[in-house]
Chain A
Amino acid sequence: MRNNLIVSGSPHIHKKESVSGIMWTVVLSTIPAGIAGVIIFGLDALWVTLVAVIAAVLTEAVFEIWAKKKVTVMDGSAVITGILLAYNLPSNVPLWLPVVGAVFSIAIGKQVFGGLGQNIFNPALVGRVFLMASWPKYMTTFVKPLSYDAVTSATPLAALKEGKILEHISYLDLFLGKRGGCIGEVCILALLIGAAILLYKGYISWHIPVVYILTTAIFTYIFGAKQLFQGDWLFHILSGGLVLGAFFMATDYVATPLTVKGQIIFGLGCGLLTGIIRIWGGYPEGVSYAILMMNAATPFIDRYTKNRIYGAR
């Protein structure tokens, strides 16, 4: 079904864009981060990503054939879900893990609610959180960057959480992705290239990502150290999955607010939750939980930030 619902106030200009066109552009914009992941973690990263994508597409096809709906695997949304799920996994997971995660993402995170446009949560994050809760051992052992073997290392955030003294990692290393972490989250440079494509094409607006990252930075600057206003905010921006989450997952069309005011509230909430989880929570990283919680709050945000209709009371 073509989705012809127009959600902003008039006047409207018609553009020759379609859901599938946008989705494939998003796929394209995630490729730099994938290439960076393969360079940093070796070919394992590529296999994990491919397996996740294939599993996601197959699950969508099987589900839609079973439900006698139109098969929409060619619109690229399942491909995106697979890619984003894989980008949230360590590169050294056994290959059945991305398969289970992708099946869960698509079946429970998306199709159960009625497919594209109906899901209340970001499907890729649903899959990731499911895997995180089910097999924490696989989800939290990370390969050392640029070593291409089984040497494991903690992520900078995990080391910080355990109170270990950080190995010396410069901001440049963090920016280029020379650290332990998930496949797609490490190379900030590649993520920013992808984000620039999306912003240039106007497929995402800057509100959610910028507000999200700024809020996290300010929050960690204030509360991140023993004394107030001493936190290492740049470290908190560059580590973990913040940039990946802010640009590629907190901007999911379906599960985020429609109005600018709503999007700013959404970004603010995500940032606060991420900061709270990172500093006081039990997990070292909170981006996925923060986005999912704000996804759950989206209907309420939408209800209270409706644009006033001109002339209405």
Chain B
Amino acid sequence: MKNLIKEFTKGIIKENPTFVLVLGLCPTLAVSVSVANGIGMGIAATFVLLGSSIIVSLIRDFIPGKIRIPCYIVIIATFVTIAELCMKAYSPALNRSLGIYVPLIVVNCMVLGRAEAFACKNNLTRSFIDGLGMGVGFTLALILISAIREFLGSGQILGYTLFKGFHPVFVFGMPSGALLVIGLLLGLFNLLKGKRT
């Protein structure tokens, strides 16, 4: 049990997919303009990650080693299609603002990375917990980045204006702002890590 809790929490800080493993940066850079987008993308990616981790760990003994990557991609693509269709049906506005980045979860290296590095070597429970932890860590990272960017870039959080008289820093709404925020947060993470060891 203790092992499982550790498996879950490692995805949030110690092996955070965005800040420590630096995986899946493409959607992180692109959709983190607003907190709503961040949460939407985080949940979609978590769903895909959970689904693919479960299936990959269940059939890991039947996948031939030489064609394992195509197999993973097919499994991941299935879940991405489910996620995309659901999003289109129940939240078309979110789907429109995430745009191409929903189908692009297929090639998100975080999802593929966990299938290749973890789910194909571990049993169902551990893979499930690992996927959940990684997904939660990814979502939290997205929320953190998008909160900073939305606040600085437009003076709002989730569409609510926080301060009157704040001059929004437009650059944080642009791609260059995403790179700046992620770079600074990565530096901060490394600083904290260096202090602990």
Chain A residues near B (Cβ < 8 Å):
108, 112, 130, 133-136
Which B148-197 residues have C-beta < 8 A from chain A?
Answer: 167-172, 174, 176, 180, 187
- Whether A134 contacts B180 by the Cβ 8 Å rule is no
- Whether B170 contacts A136 by the Cβ 8 Å rule is yes
Could you say which residues of chain B place their CB within 8 Å of the CB of A130?
171
Bound complex: CA A135 to CA B167 (Å): 8
Residue of A130, A134, A136 ringed by the most chain B CB atoms within 10 A: A134
- Whether A133 contacts B170 by the Cβ 8 Å rule is yes
Chain B residue with Cβ nearest A96: B167
- Whether A133 contacts B174 by the Cβ 8 Å rule is yes
B33 to chain A, nearest CB (A): 15
A129 to chain B, nearest CB (A): 9
Bound complex: CA A20 to CA B176 (Å): 33
Which 7 pairs between the two chains have the least Cβ-Cβ distance?
A133-B171, A134-B169, A134-B171, A134-B170, A130-B171, A133-B170, A135-B167
A-B contacts besides A133-B176, A135-B169, 14 pairs, CB < 8 Å: A108-B180, A112-B187, A130-B171, A133-B170, A133-B171, A133-B174, A134-B168, A134-B169, A134-B170, A134-B171, A134-B172, A135-B167, A135-B170, A136-B170
List the count of A-B residue pairs having beta carbons below 8 Å apart: 16
Bound complex: CA A134 to CA B176 (Å): 11
Residue of B169, B180, B187 ringed by the most chain A CB atoms within 10 A: B169
A-B contact list, 5 entries, CB within 8 Å: A130-B171, A133-B171, A134-B172, A135-B169, A135-B170
Could you say which residues of chain B place their CB within 8 Å of the CB of A136?
170
Chain A residue with Cβ nearest B183: A112
Bound complex: CA A133 to CA B171 (Å): 5
Could you say which residues of chain A place their CB within 8 Å of the CB of B170?
133-136
B177 to chain A, nearest CB (A): 8
Chain B residue with Cβ nearest A112: B187
A224 to chain B, nearest CB (A): 30
Could you say which residues of chain A place their CB within 8 Å of the CB of B169?
134-135
Could you say which residues of chain B place their CB within 8 Å of the CB of A133?
170-171, 174, 176
Could you say which residues of chain B place their CB within 8 Å of the CB of A112?
187
Could you say which residues of chain A place their CB within 8 Å of the CB of B180?
108
Chain B residue with Cβ nearest A133: B171
Chain B residue with Cβ nearest A100: B169
Chain B residue with Cβ nearest A132: B171
Could you say which residues of chain A place their CB within 8 Å of the CB of B167?
135
A112 to chain B, nearest CB (A): 8
Could you say which residues of chain B place their CB within 8 Å of the CB of A135?
167, 169-170
Chain B residue with Cβ nearest A136: B170
Bound complex: CA A297 to CA B170 (Å): 27
Could you say which residues of chain A place their CB within 8 Å of the CB of B187?
112
Bound complex: CA A135 to CA B152 (Å): 12
A272 to chain B, nearest CB (A): 23
Bound complex: CA A130 to CA B169 (Å): 9
B103 to chain A, nearest CB (A): 30
Bound complex: CA A134 to CA B172 (Å): 8
Bound complex: CA A136 to CA B168 (Å): 11
Bound complex: CA A135 to CA B187 (Å): 26
Bound complex: CA A247 to CA B176 (Å): 28
Taken residue by residue from 1 to 45, chain B's Cβ proximity to chain A (1 for < 8 Å, 0 otherwise) reads as 000000000000000000000000000000000000000000000
